[in-house]
Structure 1
Amino acid sequence: MSDASRQPNPGTGLLGPRYARRNQLGATADIEGGGRWVAVDESGWDGDQLHGEQRSRYLSIGSVAISDADAEPIVDEIRSATRLQAPELKFSGVFAGPKNGQRRSVLSALLAPGGALHERASVYLLDKHYFVVAKLIDLFVEEQAHKQGSNFRNAGDARKMARSLFEEGPRALGPALFGRLLASTVAFTSQRNRDQQVTVDDFYEVVEEAWARSCRRNVTEALALLRTTQEEAVEFLQAAHGPDAAIPQALEPLIPAVAAVTANWSRKLGRVNMLVDDQRTLSDENLDDIEAEARDRGYPEFRHLSRGVHLGQLRRGQSTQHPSLQLADLIAGAGFAVAQRHHGLANPAGEDLHPVVVPLIDVAGMLPHDEPARVAQPTPPVT
């Protein structure tokens, strides 16, 4: 590696040649005819480890259609109102916790009708457990159907099957076995399995047990199809971990989620320029993939994406240098707090902010339903 590649890249805190091409060096500013800038940050990211007691259930992608030039006075306003002395605004340090209710009222006012960020902000929520179920169908059942000439995905059958398996699975299998099915899917498909410690036989042993135990028709039918896909599972391992890996990071949600956020903003605004926080997953290569996915490939959850997404620049930046990213962090953190409350976890921030955050939730997010308003209510326990 050259000396230059060891140095921090201007505009980002990440090192090395994988983070060299897409750095935003200066402040962003909207230029007539050049498209709107949208800043994007996340909260609750765990990579492709999407299941487990220590994992947060939701990934929240906060985005705000604002340039650094327009964000700076808003950040200054927040600093003044909250008496913040820290070098950057971070939701976790300023607005979370039981003692920050007064500061949260400042954020609520910005997001509410009449506020400076009203109709500029969006929250894309991804339920990680549902994402695992969707990938389970997508990688194996849909792949088999495609080889057989079926229009399984575009007809909506894949999405319907994933939702049925997710919604009915805990009752059909029992919460413990359904949890094992999710955990086995993550263990088998994640990057950690590149040495194949979890074999095809290990994975399908759990699938067989789930199929045999299922007591609901929709779940039984989905698992009956899944248990016939061992050939597709072998092909997946070769494609994901072989010498010519074609589907790296198959279970990494951040890449398709940012692509979906990009597409959603483009449909609202036309040409958009995206500025993402310097997350290590968002390498130049993965940003190339996001650009291609936003333009051509569609959503991570069986939704048809119309052509014509108008993406200008897709850049990476560090929040200390970009006030627009600091606002995106606040929106992502607020979305995560509200999602945690929805999951039944006591959360003062979620309690205070859900009235203004729930209307911002993208209807095209990665949730097992099309009703963002449901996030305003705690999820009842499975009995």
Structure 2
Amino acid sequence: MRSDPLEVACDESGFSGSNLLDPRDPVITHAAVHLDTAEATRVVQAIRARFRYSPREYKANQLLRRIQRPVLEWLLEPGGPLHGRATVHLTDKTFFVVSRLVDYLLGEPSYAAGTSLDRALHQTALHLHLQGPVEFGADRWVDFLKVFASMMRTKRHRIINRPAVDRFFRTLEGLRSDAVDLDPFRRARPQVEAVLTELLDDRAPVPPALEPLLPALVETTLHWTSNGQSVVLVHDEQSALTRHRIARIQQVLNTHQCIALQAVVRVDSRTDPRVQLADLLAGTARRLAITPAADELIGLLTPYVIPTPLWPFPTVTNR
């Protein structure tokens, strides 16, 4: 492994706290950019020169307007400032919740769950994600997932929320289908209570169930360290990235593949041009995934997208 770590700046788009099932906001993206501060400053200055006006921070919705689209094309095109030096990770929020349901009730939840380091139950989650709305109706299925998410919210709880657990298993009992076997989930109450007990302590080895940023951080690190290079992630301020959780992620990465995530340094995006560029890429990817635009933009974005178990579609535009 090389001695000098690679410094990669990151930001997300679409963070909605634990409200992961809002149909108006179904995708969260996490982007990473490898430019030094001087290079990023020059790119931001170039964007400002191409803009019709000069806000302090640039957002993807501004670049996706037709009048500004050439700026976005310049950023993403082969030979452009981000080409080969940036990545984006896509998470479908509903599939993330389904994956958590499977991992936490049928598996052994860890910080590797939902990543390429642990795909043992991926096909089970994918089958449930595809068949649940068909077998039970889309609205009823989403209501069930909301009950699961409510049960898994442990913040500010000092004891297990047993009414929420009771409600979840009552709702689960009412779902019956020959095509979807939910009996293993019905038998999982002892595991649910054990997991929820662990989650009462934020220092537990079990990660919070409703934080999609954590597996995205793992996948981003896996990509940027695939050649043996250790990394330091420079990240926009995020409440999900506590010192304990970062340490757990480092432990998981080192246990599985001896990969060194040396540190996560949190900064204010308004003062770091590298993070501003990551924010632009993340916002662009999220908007294109939700409301696909011109084919040329999808084509330019696709090389930046890294594989992830949390995007259950073959391409960016197949939602």
Distance 1:143 1:270, change over 3 A: closer
Distance 1:83 1:365, change over 3 A: farther
Task: Report the AA paired with residue 8 of structure 2.
Answer: V
Alpha-carbon distance between aligned partners in 2 of 1:64 and 1:242, rounded to the nearest angstrom: 33
CA-to-partner distance for each residue in 1:133-164, whole Å, 9 max, x for gaps?
A: 111111111149x9xxxxxx999541111111
Partner-residue secondary structure (3-state), 1:171? helix
Distance 1:102 1:66, change over 3 A: same
Distance 1:197 1:57, change over 3 A: farther
- How far off its partner does 1:321 sit? 1.7
Give the alignment of 1:217-236 within 5 angstroms: 219-220=180-181, 223-236=182-195
Distance 1:295 1:341, change over 3 A: farther
1:375 paired to 2:319: no
**Are 1:35 and 1:271, in contact at CA under 8 Å, matched by a contact in 2?**
yes
CA-to-partner distance for each residue in 1:285-341, whole Å, 9 max, x for gaps?
A: 333333334433xxxxxxxxx412133332111112211001001100001101112
Partner-residue secondary structure (3-state), 1:61? strand
Partner of 1:159: 122
Tell me which of 302, 307, 313 is aligned to 1:358.
302
Partner of 2:44: 75
Distance 1:87 1:365, change over 3 A: farther
1:95 paired to 2:63: yes
Partner of 1:35: 5
Partner of 1:260: 219
Alpha-carbon distance between aligned partners in 2 of 1:209 and 1:179, rounded to the nearest angstrom: 14
Partner-residue secondary structure (3-state), 1:117? coil
- How far off its partner does 1:183 sit? 0.9
1:63 paired to 2:32: yes
Number of residue equivalences: 311
Task: Report the AA paired with residue 214 of structure 2.
Answer: I
Give the alignment of 1:35-184 within 5 angstroms: 35-53=5-23, 56-92=25-61, 94-96=62-64, 100-143=65-108, 157-184=120-147
CA-to-partner distance for each residue in 1:212-251, whole Å, 9 max, x for gaps?
A: 2x241xx22xx11111101111112211226986536222
Distance 1:139 1:279, change over 3 A: same
**Are 1:88 and 1:326, in contact at CA under 8 Å, matched by a contact in 2?**
yes
Mark the runs of 5 or more structure 1 residues left unpaired by the alignment: 1-31, 147-152, 297-305, 343-347
Alpha-carbon distance between aligned partners in 2 of 1:175 and 1:134, rounded to the nearest angstrom: 17
CA-to-partner distance for each residue in 1:76-112, whole Å, 9 max, x for gaps?
A: 11111114422233334x324xxx2232221212211
1:336 paired to 2:286: yes
**Are 1:111 and 1:121, in contact at CA under 8 Å, matched by a contact in 2?**
no
Distance 1:167 1:182, change over 3 A: same
Alpha-carbon distance between aligned partners in 1 of 2:186 and 2:5, rounded to the nearest angstrom: 48
Distance 1:84 1:287, change over 3 A: farther
1:199 paired to 2:149: no
Alpha-carbon distance between aligned partners in 1 of 2:309 and 2:208, rounded to the nearest angstrom: 20
Mark the runs of 5 or more structure 2 residues left unpaired by the alignment: 111-115
Task: Report the AA paired with residue 317 of structure 2.
Answer: A
Distance 1:193 1:248, change over 3 A: farther
Partner of 1:315: 265
RCO (CA 8 Å, sep 6+): is it higher in 1 or 2?
A: 2
**Are 1:260 and 1:294, in contact at CA under 8 Å, matched by a contact in 2?**
no
TM-score between both structures, scaled by the size of structure 1: 0.73
**Are 1:180 and 1:206, in contact at CA under 8 Å, matched by a contact in 2?**
no
Distance 1:163 1:77, change over 3 A: same
- How far off its partner does 1:184 sit? 1.1
Partner-residue secondary structure (3-state), 2:225? helix
Say what the alpha-carbon RMSD is for the aligned residues: 2.8
